[in-house]
């Protein structure tokens, strides 16, 4: 009991912990644009409210329902409404808490079906009125996106907008249907007034108003099944939940770990300059206007995190309440703060991400005070023989690169292209075409631009980087390293199934074969790797699992430095699947603690003192 009380005290102090009068936060999330406000979650809650109201009104007006004892029916409604009130006392305000109503919600839906039965609602007017309210609520639910959580969302249609039909929102069509039903209800009301009696509903009215709750719920279930099916088909052969489930049935149960490809040695994968140039000279062997070895901004904080003071989630609010901070723990995991004590291969003092060795890898960037136009054309680099183990050409870059976001909207930035051609003799090059690398962000942090080698013709044997930055804004700059074609292995092969891993709670179910690090006798086993969700998920879990949240990210940061390892989702190259980080211990000679264990029996009310 004392342990429970202490745990509750700590969770309340650390957060997120909101009070009962902030219950509106839950409904703000429910009707927001994120996964917590997806149409499936909205639909379930709105239908529950509809069923409560229609059942309660019928019980009050009719004094009961045919075939249903009034006492149990009233108690069921009372328990449901009371539970909604008690829900306000929960300190966190997540929308998945509504899942607790699944059992009583089904019973209330059965009551609503009886309340709308022909024996109860005999008037065509009342039936159409009830149906119009139901359609209005369904329309409201369909103003949400068809978004699912993390990997379940891959390939799902309308994950970024409300569903459309014939170019217009389905919610708009349902709203129009609601107006038609209201007009029809008004017409039947007029007819009943003229005849001074209840009008017998026509066959069509009886058909559409007999079991409307069941019909719309069944339609939504079919829509969800169709969404996941379409998502799996559009993703294939890339990862999807459906394909992963089939793989598990066939004896390959490791989920996303089989599809994430990891660079085994990035420093060994850089392409050889085609004309015998040294690596430091080849990167700027063509045109170089405004690019320098140190042309990288000092602040590489992703733009989506720059305004953290305007925290939009209860997680961020809880972190702010506890620590008065809104920053995350190295949100990109690239570990590129500060400057190098010893200049790199082309005299750059800028730290490189992903474990790239500055003594082997040159760098050129266009950042400078005042901004200005810049242009860069590298020398030609030889392409290796094609291999299934090396499906990508990769350029590590920072700054603003022209691309499109996951929702298809253009992103302003420098124009970065990869030109490919044929070299028959040194200095004799024929350009065959160009391709724009895929950029998944975040801007302006270090990240890996990637070009699938399948997009480069087989006859091409050389490539080069061409950059054009025509924006005078000082914030518009770009930095690049030479191209590389890395050999890759799956995350399952690199990390293995016995290595201790810190797996973020947000992605744990997607990596069932990786072993979470042990926590025994109050001592943590130091993990060798960390697996995170995509950038936005990682920003949130860094807070929840960080030092102020009392989580393992805060603990591991004291004994090791996490370095991001380049990793990509196979056959879905422009997808931000998440990140793999390897921990580099601060002390290579550190060893695991040796524990002296003893057994002591205590009372359940024993309390050694508060945890600090």
Which pLDDT band holds residue 475 (cuts at 50, 70, 90)?
confident
Whole-prediction pTM: 0.84
Longest dimension (CA), the chain: 99
Percent of the chain with pLDDT over 90: 47
Tokens of residue 95, six digits: 């929308």
**Range 408-426 average pLDDT:** 87
Which of 109-118, 175-184, 193-202 bottoms out in mean pLDDT, i.e. has the lowest?
193-202
Q: Comparing 279 with 404, which gets the higher pLDDT?
A: 279
Read off the pLDDT band of 293 (50, 70, 90). very high
Q: Are 318 and 15 in contact, with CB atoms under 8 Å apart?
A: yes
- List Cβ neighbours of 119 (8 Å cut-off, separation of 6 or more): 66
CA-closest candidate to residue 577, choices 256, 301, 333:
256
Mean pLDDT of 237-259: 93
d(CA 378, CA 376): 6
Q: In terms of pLDDT, which residue wins out, 424 or 510?
A: 510
310 CB-near residues (< 8 Å, 6+ apart) = none
User: Which are the contacts of 571, defined by CB distance < 8 A and separation ≥ 6?
Assistant: 237, 238, 239, 259
Q: How many helices (H) and strands (E) does the chain have?
A: 15, 24
Band (545; pLDDT cuts 50, 70, 90): confident
Distance between CA 586 and CA 309 in Å, rounded?
A: 31
For residue 553, give the H/E element and its range: helix 552-556
CA distance 524 to 544: 18
Of residues 98 and 551, more confidence is placed in 98
Q: Is the pLDDT of residue 5 over 90?
A: no
């Amino acid at each position: 009991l004392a342990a429970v009380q202490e745990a509750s005290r700590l969770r309340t102090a650390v957060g997120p912990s909101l009070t009962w009068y902030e219950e509106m936060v839950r409904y703000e999330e429910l009707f927001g644009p994120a996964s917590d406000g997806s149409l499936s979650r909205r639909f379930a809650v709105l239908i529950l409210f509809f069923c409560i109201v229609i059942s309660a009104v019928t019980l009050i007006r009719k004094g009961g329902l045919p075939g249903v004892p009034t006492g149990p029916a009233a108690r069921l409604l009372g328990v449901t409404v009371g539970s909604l009130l008690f829900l306000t006392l929960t300190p966190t305000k997540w929308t998945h808490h509504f899942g607790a109503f699944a059992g009583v919600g089904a019973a209330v839906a059965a009551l609503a079906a009886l309340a709308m039965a022909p024996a109860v609602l005999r008037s065509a007017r009342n039936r159409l009125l009830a149906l119009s309210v139901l359609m209005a609520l369904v329309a409201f639910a369909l103003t949400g996106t068809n978004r699912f959580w993390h990997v379940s969302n891959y390939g799902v249609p309308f994950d970024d907008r409300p569903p459309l039909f014939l170019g217009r929102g389905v919610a708009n069509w349902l709203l129009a249907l609601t107006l038609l039903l209201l007009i029809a209800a008004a017409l039947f009301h007029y007819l009943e007034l003229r005849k001074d009696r209840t009008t017998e509903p026509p066959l069509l009215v009886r058909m559409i108003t007999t079991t409307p709750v069941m019909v719309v719920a069944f339609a939504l279930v079919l829509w969800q099944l169709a969404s996941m099916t379409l998502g799996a088909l559009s993703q294939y052969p890339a990862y999807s939940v459906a394909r992963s489930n089939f793989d598990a049935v066939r004896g390959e149960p490791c989920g996303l770990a089989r599809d994430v490809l990891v660079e085994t040695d990035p420093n060994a994968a850089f392409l050889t300059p085609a004309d015998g140039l040294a690596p430091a000279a080849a990167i700027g062997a063509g045109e170089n206007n405004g690019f320098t070895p140190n042309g990288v901004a000092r602040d590489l904080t992703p733009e989506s995190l720059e305004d953290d003071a305007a925290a939009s989630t209860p997680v961020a609010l809880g972190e702010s309440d506890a620590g008065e901070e809104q920053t995350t723990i190295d949100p990109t995991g690239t570990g590129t703060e500060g400057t190098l004590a010893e200049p790199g291969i082309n005299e750059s003092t800028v730290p490189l991400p992903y474990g790239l060795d500055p003594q082997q890898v040159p760098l050129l960037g266009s950042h400078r005070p005042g901004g200005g136009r810049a242009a860069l054309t590298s020398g030609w680099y030889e392409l290796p023989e094609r291999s299934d183990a090396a499906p990508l050409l990769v350029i590590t870059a920072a700054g603003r690169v022209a691309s499109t976001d996951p929702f298809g909207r253009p992103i302003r930035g420098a124009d970065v292209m990869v030109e490919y051609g044929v070299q028959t003799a040194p200095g004799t090059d024929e350009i065959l075409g160009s391709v724009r690398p895929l950029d998944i962000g975040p801007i302006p942090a270090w990240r890996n631009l990637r070009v699938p080698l399948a997009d480069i013709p087989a006859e091409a044997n050389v490539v080069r980087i061409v950059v054009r930055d025509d924006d005078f804004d000082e914030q518009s700059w770009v930095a690049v390293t030479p191209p590389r074609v890395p050999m890759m292995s799956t995350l399952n092969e690199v990390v293995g199934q016995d290595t201790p891993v810190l797996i973020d709670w947000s992605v744990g179910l997607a990596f069932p074969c990786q072993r979470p690090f042990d926590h025994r006798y109050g001592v943590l086993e130091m993990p060798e790797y960390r697996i995170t969700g995509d950038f936005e998920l990682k920003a949130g879990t860094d807070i929840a699992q960080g030092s102020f949240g009392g989580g393992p990210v805060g603990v591991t940061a004291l004994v090791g430095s996490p370095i991001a390892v380049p990793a990509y989702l196979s056959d879905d190259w422009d997808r931000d699947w998440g990140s793999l980080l390897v921990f580099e211990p601060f002390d290579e000679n550190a060893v695991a603690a040796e524990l002296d264990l003893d057994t002591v029996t205590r009372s359940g009310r024993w309390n050694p003192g508060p945890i600090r």
